Amino acid sequence: MKHNTDRLAVAMLKQKRLRITTPRVAVMTALLQAERPLSQQQIAERLGHDAPDKTTIYRTLMSLVKTNLVHKAFVQQRQWHFEPAHHCTATQCHPHFTCVRCRRTECLIGIETPLVKLPDGLTMHRQQIRIEGLCATCCR
């Protein structure tokens, strides 16, 4: 499984004509395997003892955001959470559900939400929807 995800990460980096570096492949692989948005700290934890330092992870994330391979999904507890951008369009991110009790966030891929029509004079750059409530585990 990891090997396939590594190959997908490399292919995505090549498509954007980015240099294939160990930190870029590692960060992309961690995000692809997570299937939910991760903070910089959560990425480091997933990478374990082989994780690059915080600065390298941050710079890697910013280069991936700049090329639209990754986007900032939302801020939670003053930390940005990142995810691969391949399930989203240039103007709309897929919705997310965050449990208010356990704080776990899930991607709601496949759920379509209409684009909001803004009043005249306002220009939308990107629409993001985050729904808060109780997850199935916390409802029990």
Cα(40)–Cα(38) distance, integer angstroms = 7
Q: Where are the domains of the chain?
A: 2-84, 87-140
104 or 137: which carries more pLDDT confidence? Answer: 137
pLDDT (tens digit per residue) in 101-125: 998 888 787 777 778 888 999 988 8
pTM: 0.74
> What is the model's pLDDT at position 106?
83
> What is the model's pLDDT at position 79?
85
The hierarchical CATH code for the domain 2-84 is 1.10.10.10
> What is the model's pLDDT at position 110?
79
pLDDT of 45 higher than 70: yes
H or E segment and range at residue 23: helix 22-34
Rounded to an integer, the average pLDDT of 42-59 is 94
pLDDT band at 2 (very low <50, low <70, confident <90, very high): low
128 or 139: which carries more pLDDT confidence? Answer: 139
